[in-house]
Amino acid sequence: MARTTDGSGTTPVPRRLLAAATRLFAEQGYDRTSVQEIVEAAGVTKGALYHYFGSKEDLLHEVYARVLRLQQERLDAFADADAPVERRLRDAAADVVVTTIENLDDASIFFRSMHHLSPEKNKQVRAERRRYHERFRALVEEGQRSGVFSTATPADLVVDYHFGSVHHLSTWYRPNGPLGPREVADHLADLLLRALRP
């Protein structure tokens, strides 16, 4: 009886809905995905969806919340490590690339559909996002203060520079392309660190 497909089986209904929504939002965009499509992909009825989620938007918000939590945890772990700052920044910069590639669906949604959230939820997500951004910036500033990074560019801009390339991954990265996640991550972290050389 225990199956692992999305359509039905033992996976809890909310989990199935979230998985189906994630895939469809990434493939087609939030607006182009109908609630009907989601419930069909999850093998339940509309009523079930609205039993667990208040609205279609809530579903989107849940996708975000999950990604944000995951990324923040990983960044915290790397930033708190016992190593020189250039090592910690490099690891964090590379890790966000790897996890982004490994969750390209979530990433696409994140960077393409955030503006579909209501002002209220948008604010909430932006706040959590900012926390993440600032943790990263703190690493850059730490290196700048200790002289291992150049101070030519404001730390803020450096962070935006790097995250721009991370967001961009979902546009060009293809799983069966010439470079694997680790290789891309190393290259992008490399570019960041090289740009920061004094």
Partner DNA sequence: AATGAATGAGAGTTCATTCAT
Partner DNA sequence: AATGAATGAACTCTCATTCAT
Q: Which residues would be at the binding site for a second copy (CB under 8 A)?
A: 29, 31-32, 111-112, 115-116, 150, 152-154, 157-158, 160-161, 163-169, 171-172, 179, 184, 187-188, 190-192, 194-197
- Decide if residue 195 touches DNA (CB under 7 A): no
What CA–CA distance (Å, rounded) separates 12 from 156? 41
Task: Report, in Å, the least distance between residue 13 CB and DNA.
Answer: 4
Give the binding-site size for DNA (rule: CB under 7 A): 19
Return the number of the residue (102 or 190) whose C-beta is nearest a second copy.
190
Range 15-54, binding DNA (CB under 7 A): 32-37, 44-48, 50-52, 54
The amino acid at residue 25 is F
AA letter at 109? I
Measured from the CB atom, the residue of 2 and 172 that comes closer to DNA is 2
Q: Return all residues near 2 (Cβ < 8 A) that are at least 6 apart.
A: 9, 10
Determine, following the binding rule CB under 7 A, whether residue 132 of this chain makes contact with DNA: no
Closer Cβ to DNA, 65 or 195, answer by number: 65
CB of 36 to a second copy, least distance (A): 11
Nearest approach in angstroms of CB 11 to a second copy is 26
The site partner of 184 among a second copy, DNA, none (C-beta below 5 to 8 Å per kind) is a second copy
Distance between CA atoms of 19 and 121, rounded to whole angstroms? Answer: 20
Shortest distance, position 67 Cβ to DNA, whole Å: 21
Query: For residue 103, what are its two tokens?
Result: 């969750």
Asked whether 177 and 109 are in contact (CB, 8 A), the reply is no
3-state DSSP call for residue 55? coil
Put residue 197 in one of left, alpha, beta given phi > 0 → left and psi -120 to 50 → alpha: beta
- Give the integer Cα–Cα distance in Å for 175 and 179: 8
Instruction: Record the tokens describing residue 119, joined without a space.
Output: 């002002």
User: CB-hemisphere CA count at 13 Å for 45?
Assistant: 1
Between 83 and 179, whose beta carbon lies closer to a second copy?
Answer: 179
> Which residues sit at the interface with DNA, rule CB under 7 A?
13, 32-37, 44-48, 50-52, 54-57
